Structure formats: C-alpha cells, structure tokens
Structure 1
Amino acid sequence: MDTQTIAATATTPPTRPMTDGAKTTGTTGTAGAEPTCANTGSGGPANRAKSKSPRSPLINVDDVPGGIGMSRLLGEDVLVGLDDECGYVNDHADTLYGRGAIVNRMVPFGSIAAGPLAAWVWVGGDFPYRLDLISNSRYRTLAHGRQITVYNRKTPPDHVMRLGQLRITSPLRTICDIACMDEGGKILAGAESLLPLLMERYEVRAEACLQTLWENPRWPNHSDGVRTLMRLRRRKP
C-alpha cells in the first residue's frame, strides 16, 4: 500500500459501529476495548502488528512502505506520531468519537481510559504524555513511548461512560482524577487550563467534583485534589 492510498483511506471514519451517544456502563465484566498494539512495550510484537483495517485510526510503520512512507505521512500532517513506529490519523482527532476510536485502539482489554488520556478524548488538544487507565492489571513496559499509569480507585458505575467500544471516565470523574494528580503530573498535563476547559465544555461544577472527593476520602492525593478544586471554585467569576 503506497502513501497516497494510506492518506486517502486513513481519513475515512472507522467501520466499527458506534453508539448514537455516550451511555453509562458498569466497571466490571468483560466488555471493553479490544486488545491492540498498545498493550505491550513499543518494541513488542503486538505493537508491530499491522492494523486490522486500512481505515484504522492508528497506522503502524508496517502498514506503509517503511520509515520513508511513515515520515512522509507525518510531514504532510496526515498522521500525528506517537512513537517511531506508530501514529494516529490527524482527521480522526477532530471529533469526539474519532478521538475515542484512536484511544480504543490503544487501551488494553478490560481497562478504562482515565486522567489526561480521558481528557484528551473529551476535549482534544495535544496527545497526553502518559496513558492513564483504571485497571486491576499492572504494566511495566512503555506503550508508544509513554508510561502507563494505573489507578485502582473506587469507580462507581456512574463514573464510567462508553463511547463506541471505549470505556472512559465521565467528565466529572476525569476532572477529579486530574485534580488528584501530584503537582508534577498536573503541570505536565496542563491542568491549570485543562480542568477549566473540561468544566466549561461539559458544564461540571466545582461543587460536584468536591462532593465526589468528600465521598471518597481515601483516594491518593485527596487533599491535593480538594485544594485544586477549591482554587478553581474561587477563580470562577
């Protein structure tokens, strides 16, 4: 497949059926994102597997004529690079469901997209520097050059939504998780601008987030999260 064919077909929406809207789902059971190239280290065989469809939102170096083809697609802004071997189709990142399809190809089976990764799906922007998940598993290898950070916090069913095949934390829960990150993580995630954007886009009040934290006092960095949300509440005109 030459680069012109990739460029023409990669921007076609994914054929995987998607729901008409986000719906709430539980956090248990076997439903979830199918295993993809991101559930092992960037050098593992799963990462090097060819995309299942030329319309996949993720394109691997094996899908095009070598590194030169990948470089051309990156240079022409057809793809946004994740690492040396994989990138996502730029046009897919323009829509909520397109971003959901991209992340669905990266999230390991049974896991839930959370934190800055979930925020990227909800509002877009620059792809996050790490992959945050809610999962009972542990991941020591990098995925697309990024650390996988796992939360094992209490996750009620109403904190999780479904976008197509992707399970993802709700905007409210995403805000709470980012607020509870350590200061270094919040700086790297751009939380100062990201949290107000999430709150405005999805009409989430700081009071609702604070109530969630009051109900979950054992969450790691709980006190930092409360201070962050209190500061955001005071900033609101």
Structure 2
Amino acid sequence: MEPVVVSALLPPAPARQPVVRPSDVGGRAAWQVLVRGGALRAVVDDAAVPVGVAVTAEVRGAALAPRVPAGAVVTGPSAVWVHCGGALPEPLDLVRRTGTLRLASDCTWLGGVRVTAVGRTVVDVATRLPHEQALGLVLELARGGADLAAAARFLERRNRVVGRPAARAVLAAARERLAAAAAGP
C-alpha cells in the first residue's frame, strides 16, 4: 500500500481565479451585456472569464465549483470537460468520496474542486461508457496530453475492474487511431 500524504487530502489554498459570475458584476443582466459585448467569454452558463484570459482546466474547475457539493468528485465525461474543454455534459458526473484513501490518490484539485486525475479519467470512461463514446473521450484526453500507456498500466494494476476487457479494446483502438493520424495520409 502506498503511503498517503495527508496534505494531498486537503484542498489547495484558494487562489484568485479569473472566473466572473453574474453576482460579481451587478447581476445577470449586466453579466449578459458584458458577454454579448465581448468583454467576457462564457465558460458555462453562469461563469465567464475576461477576454484574453486562457480557459484552462483550473478555470473550468472553478466555473463548476458552485455546482459541486463538498466531498464530491467530478468524474467521467464531466472530468474530461474539466481537463480538455469542449461542450459541458449535463448532468454533471459526480461521485461522493467514500472515505477511502485510494480515491484521494486518483484525484486532483482543479479550480477548487476535486476531479479524477487524467489517467483515472481515461480508465473511468473506457470501462463505463459505450465503445464509440468512450473512444471519442479517450482520444480527447490523449490529444490533451494523457499518457495512454500509463492509463493502461493503471487499469491493469486495479483489482476487480468491471469493464476491463472493454477498456482494453478502447485503449487499443485509441492507440491505433493516434498512430494512424501520426503516420499521415
């Protein structure tokens, strides 16, 4: 069993996020004027960033913060969105921490919310979603920098994984598509 650093269980010290909410600018009407006028770029329906600010995983996590209850972890397609962007899936995919230290080591804090780490997210979507949907999300994560070989090792190290054969097929298909794309026409 790997030792767990106690500080990893705590949220990071709050950092000033560039996320702007309607309450920050005088209400929804003012917020919408700023978004329509081009001063703010919407991240989700109730959060935006000033134009010129990069929308990173930290910013996407902060945008979700009011929707994520204390003790919950963003997982599955919602975690893919936090890590990579794109269209936010609704409803949010959330799980409650079970109190096990294992889940804590498979997560990271992004923008004040706990999100499954990239490798765990790859395995989660590959084991739980239909092949084509999982493949699309795994490819998004890979294009965003996910290490599929490390995710495959993570999959094999876990005990009692429901969906392991399906996940192996998804990871193999993703590696094939990425290799074909790298080889070019």
So what's the TM-score if we normalise by structure 2? Answer: 0.66
Letter in 2 for 1:88: A
Pairing partner for 1:177 from 124, 130, 135 = 124
1:204 paired to 2:150: no
**Aligned residues: CA RMSD:** 3.9
Deviation at 1:108, TM superposition (A): 1.1
Report the secondary structure of 1:227's partner residue.
helix
List structure 1 runs of 4+ shifted beyond 6 angstroms.
none
Asked which structure has the greater RCO (Cα within 8 Å, sep 6+), the reply is: 1
1:101 paired to 2:62: yes
Structure 1 pair 90/153, CA: closer, same or farther in 2 (3 Å)? farther
How many residues are paired up? Answer: 172
Structure 1 pair 216/167, CA: closer, same or farther in 2 (3 Å)? same
**Matched-pair contact (CA < 8 Å) for 1:93–1:124:** no
> 2: distance between equivalents of 1:219 and 1:153?
17
| Runs of 5+ consecutive residues of structure 1 not aligned to the other structure | 1-23, 34-52, 138-151
**Matched-pair contact (CA < 8 Å) for 2:43–2:63:** no
Match of 2:49 in 1: 89
Structure 1 pair 214/107, CA: closer, same or farther in 2 (3 Å)? same
- Report the structure, 1 or 2, having the larger helix content: 2
1:179-200 per-position Cα deviation (integer Å, ceiling 9, x unaligned): 123229x63xxx5444223224
Question: What does residue range 59-208 of structure 1 map to in structure 2 within 5 Å?
Answer: 59-60=21-22, 68-77=29-38, 78-80=40-42, 82=44, 86-89=46-49, 91=51, 94-136=55-97, 155-163=102-110, 165-183=112-130, 187=133, 191-205=134-148, 207-208=149-150
Deviation at 1:162, TM superposition (A): 2.5
So what's the TM-score if we normalise by structure 1? Answer: 0.54
- Percent identity over the alignment? 25
| Runs of 5+ consecutive residues of structure 2 not aligned to the other structure | 180-185
Deviation at 1:90, TM superposition (A): 6.2
**Matched-pair contact (CA < 8 Å) for 2:73–2:97:** no
> 2: distance between equivalents of 1:224 and 1:153?
26
Letter in 1 for 2:66: R
**Matched-pair contact (CA < 8 Å) for 1:32–1:109:** no
